[in-house]
């Protein structure tokens, strides 16, 4: 879901965004290895959570096939997650967005159309993507998101500035099983099982066949609970 073309999406802005995208791989690797991943702020993304906790984040929904299965699994284990929602999909599936909220999960903003590379968009388009999603989620669920994740984790000073100016906390991740590629249930399971206290886990419930993600989570979630880890939301427990 890439949305309409951006008129200020120049070749140079595209190349700059792609370079930053690859540099962030190194940043996430460094955060993964730290004893405590960064808790972030308005001008730098959250990469971790405090205490003997982890945060499960779920991107690209809501999806009528996979979101209910993820929610059923979370309910079975009494786990709270953060769902970074695409505004256009909230419009398509409002009942699912309301169910996510009703079951106690945090709602996050993941842009209106998921355009990529996000950092190559004009400042006006970046702001519009965020603002329209805020409005959509609030109209559907009654909740104003407080968290934002850039599509593809494609941050830049421009994106972070817009996020902060709109009063949102930018959230990244430390554990990425690349489940959106459908690399196999075993690979997703192995990667997520490496999570430890302080990590933010990335998974997806939209954008394709997420059967491997659901199967992996069915194994990983009780495994992490058995290790005594608590599941929290990034940035605290409020809406």
Q: Please list the active-site residues.
A: 59, 204
67 close to 205: Cβ distance less than 8 angstroms: yes
Tell me, what DSSP letter sits at residue 79? -
Element containing residue 203 per DSSP (H, E): strand 200-204
CA 100 and chain centroid, separation? 14
> What are the backbone dihedrals phi and psi of residue 230, each rounded to the nearest 5 degrees, phi first?
-95, 150
What's the CA gap between 3 and 133, in Å, rounded?
A: 13
Rounded to whole angstroms, the Cα distance separating 105 from 80 reads 5
* Cβ neighbours of 153 (radius 10 Å): 21
> Whole-angstrom Cα distance, residue 145 to residue 56?
17
Pairwise CA distance, residues 158 & 214, whole Å: 34
- Beta carbons within 10 angstroms of residue 26's beta carbon: 9
């Amino acid at each position: 879901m890439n949305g309409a073309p951006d008129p200020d999406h120049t070749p140079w802005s595209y190349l700059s965004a792609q370079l930053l995208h690859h540099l962030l791989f190194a940043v996430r690797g460094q955060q993964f290895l730290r004893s405590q991943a960064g808790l972030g702020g308005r001008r730098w993304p959250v990469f971790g959570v405090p205490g003997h906790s982890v945060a499960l984040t779920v991107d690209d929904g809501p999806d009528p096939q996979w979101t209910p299965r993820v929610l059923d699994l979370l309910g079975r284990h009494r786990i709270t997650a953060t769902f970074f929602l695409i505004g256009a999909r909230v419009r398509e599936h409002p009942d699912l967005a309301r169910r996510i909220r009703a079951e106690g999960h945090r709602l996050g903003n993941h842009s209106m159309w998921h355009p990529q590379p996000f950092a190559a968009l004009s400042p006006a388009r970046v702001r519009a993507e965020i603002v329209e999603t805020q409005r959509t989620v609030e109209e559907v669920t009654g909740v104003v998101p407080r968290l934002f994740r850039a599509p593809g984790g494609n941050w830049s000073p421009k994106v972070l500035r817009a996020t902060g100016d709109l009063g949102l906390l930018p959230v990244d991740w430390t554990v990425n099983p690349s489940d959106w590629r459908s690399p196999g249930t075993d690979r997703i399971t192995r990667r997520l099982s490496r999570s430890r206290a302080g990590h933010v886990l990335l998974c997806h419930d939209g954008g394709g066949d997420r059967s491997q993600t659901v199967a992996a989570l069915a194994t990983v979630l009780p495994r992490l609970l058995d290790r005594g880890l608590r599941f929290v939301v990034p940035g605290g427990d409020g809406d």
